[in-house]
Amino acid sequence: MSSTAPVSRSVPVPAAVALPLPTAAPLRYDWQPAEVEALLGQPLNDLLFAAQAAHRSWFKPNLVQVSTLLSIKSGACPEDCGYCAQSAHHETGLAPERLLPLAEVVAAAAAARAAGATRFCMGAAWRNPTDRHLEVVLAMVQAVKDLGLETCVTLGMLTAAQASRLAAAGLDYYNHNLDTSPEFYGEVISTRTYQERLQTLEHVRAAGLKTCSGGILGLGESRRDRSGLLCQLANLPAHPESVPINLLVRVAGTPLAAAAPLDPLDLVRTIAVARIMMPASYVRLSAGREGLSDECQALCFMAGANSVFSGERLLTTANAGAARDRALFARLGLACEETSLTGRTTPGACDKTGQRADRGAGAAQAAGAAPAPAVAP
Ligand code: SF4
C-alpha cells in the first residue's frame, strides 16, 4: 500500500533550551587565609571556570567599565610606600606639582568622557587632605559630576567629617587601597599603619560613599600574603564596590625597583579568586596593565576582571592608551559600559543582602525572581 503523505527524513531538532545560568551564591564575609591560599593554587582551568560562573551570575559577561585617573597633585608625598614614584622618601626624579586648577581638571574629565570613560578618578599625593585642600577637591567633584561622570577621589587618610563632606558634594567612590596582607605590609610601608587604612575605609562606608579598595601584586609577597589581602577585602563589613588589582610598576629610585617580576598567571589567579570571593564587585585591572600582552589581558577578563583604567598615564606611570584598548576590546568582543547620561543603570550598593541593581542573574535571584537569561550587550 502506498501513501502520498510526505516522509520526513531530517533529524528532529529539539526545541531551543535555555541553558541553566550559574546560581548566585550568597555573599560571604568569613573567608579564611588557608582556604583562599588553596583556591589560588587550584588548576588554572578550574579556577577560570569557577570565576566565570561567579562573574556571569552577577554581571553581563562582555561589558567592561572604563575609568580614567588623573593626578591632581603629584609628588612630595610624606608617606614612604616602597613602590611609589611620588614618595618624598625616594629619589625618583619626579618633579612635584601643585594642585591642578579646576579648569584643567574639568578639561581632562571632558576628554576622558569623550574617550569613553564613565568614571573619573582624581588622585592627590597627600598623607591626608587639609580642609583647605578639601574645599578645592569638593569643587572638582561637583564640576566633574556635572559632566555626567561618576567621580572617585584618592586623597590619603580621611576623617569622618571629611568623608561626610565628600559624600554631601556628590562623590561616588573613595579609593583607599590596603596594598597587601597585614603580615607583609610592614615590608612595604612604615609611615601609615594597616589599622589607619581600615579606619579610613570605615569612615568612607559610614559616610555612604562607595568603596574602592584593592592591592598590589609583585611586591615580593607570598601566595599566603595575597590570600591575606583578599581575605581583608572580602571580610570587610561590605565588599568594596570596586576592587583594583595592581601589578607593581618597578620605578627606578624606589626600594622596589629591582623586585622580581611576578608570573603574569599569578595575576590571573588573583583576579579569579577576587571574583569568586567578591562576585558582585567590579574587579579592576589597574596599574601594570600596560606591560601585559593582549593574551594575558584576555585571560584577566576571563578570570572576571570587568573594569580598567584607560588613558596614556596612570598617575605618574605609563598606561595602556585608549586606542590600544579599543582594538583589544574589539578583538575580544567586549563593549564598554555607557555613562549614566546615556542610560546605564547606576550600580547599587553591595552589602550583605546581595541586593544590586541590574547585574544579570545574581541581582534578580537575590531579589527572589526566577533567573533571567544573561544577555550580552
Ligand atoms: S602611594 Fe599614595 S600615600 Fe603612598 S607615597 Fe604614593 S602618593 Fe603617597
211, 240 contact by CB (below 8 A): yes
Q: What's residue 141's pLDDT?
A: 95
Q: What's residue 124's pLDDT?
A: 92
Per-residue pLDDT averaged across 111-126, rounded? 87
Q: Is the CB of 188 under 6 A from ligand 1?
A: no
Q: Whose CA is nearest to atom 7 of ligand 1?
A: 125
Contacts of 27 (CB under 8 A, 6+ apart): 239, 278, 279, 280, 350, 352, 354
What's the number of domains the chain is made of? 1
Q: Please tell me which residue, 7 or 176, carries the higher pLDDT value.
A: 176
259: in domain: yes
**Residue span of the structural domain in which 56 resides:** 36-338
Q: Please tell me which residue, 163 or 366, carries the higher pLDDT value.
A: 163
- Residue 19: pLDDT over 60: no
CB atoms within 10 A of CB 7: 5
Per-residue pLDDT tens over the stretch 306-326? 999 876 555 555 565 778 888
Q: What's residue 375's pLDDT?
A: 28
Q: Which atom of ligand 1 is nearest to the CA of 86?
A: 6
Q: What's residue 187's pLDDT?
A: 95
141, 91 contact by CB (below 8 A): no
Q: Please tell me which residue, 343 or 238, carries the higher pLDDT value.
A: 238
Q: What's residue 7's pLDDT?
A: 43
Confidence band (pLDDT; 50, 70, 90) for 358? very low
Cα separation of 64 and 308, whole Å?
7
Least confident of 97-101, 136-140, 203-207: 97-101
Residue 243's CATH number: 3.20.20.70
Q: Is the CB of 94 under 6 A from ligand 1?
A: no
87: in domain: yes
Q: 124 CA distance to ligand 1 centroid (A)?
A: 9
Confidence band (pLDDT; 50, 70, 90) for 23? low
302: in domain: yes
Query: Is 336 noted as a catalytic residue in this protein?
Result: no
**Percentage above 90 pLDDT, the chain:** 58
Percent of the chain as helix, strand, coil, to the nearest 5: 35, 15, 50
357 CB-contact burial (10 Å; exposed 0-12 / middle 13-18 / buried 19+): exposed
Q: Which atom of ligand 1 is nearest to the CA of 80?
A: 5
345: in domain: no
81: in domain: yes
Per-residue pLDDT averaged across 170-188, rounded? 96
Per-residue pLDDT tens over the stretch 55-66? 999 998 899 988
Q: 144 CA distance to ligand 1 centroid (A)?
A: 23
Confidence band (pLDDT; 50, 70, 90) for 364? very low
Q: What's residue 13's pLDDT?
A: 43
Q: 243 CA distance to ligand 1 centroid (A)?
A: 18
Per-residue pLDDT tens over the stretch 186-241? 999 999 999 999 999 999 999 999 999 999 999 999 999 999 999 999 999 999 99
Instruction: Specify the residue for cell string 565628600.
Output: 166
Q: Is the CB of 123 under 6 A from ligand 1?
A: no
353: in domain: no
| Residue 39: its H or E element | helix 33-40
Query: Is 77 noted as a catalytic residue in this protein?
Result: yes
- Residue 261: pLDDT over 90: yes
182: in domain: yes
* Mean predicted lDDT score pLDDT of the chain: 82
Per-residue pLDDT tens over the stretch 140-166? 999 999 998 899 999 999 999 999 999
269: in domain: yes
Confidence band (pLDDT; 50, 70, 90) for 298? very high
Q: Is the CB of 155 under 6 A from ligand 1?
A: no
Per-residue pLDDT averaged across 290-315, rounded? 85
Integer-rounded Cα Rg, in Å, for the chain is 22
Q: 78 CA distance to ligand 1 centroid (A)?
A: 8
Q: What's residue 183's pLDDT?
A: 96
Q: Which residues pair with 318 in a beta bridge?
A: 313
Confidence band (pLDDT; 50, 70, 90) for 247? very high
Q: 1 CA distance to ligand 1 centroid (A)?
A: 91
Q: Is the CB of 77 under 6 A from ligand 1?
A: yes
Cα separation of 123 and 116, whole Å?
20
Per-residue pLDDT averaged across 110-116, rounded? 84
Least confident of 20-29, 72-81, 147-156, 341-350: 341-350
Cα separation of 105 and 186, whole Å?
34
Residue of 113, 152, 165, 275 with catalytic role: 152
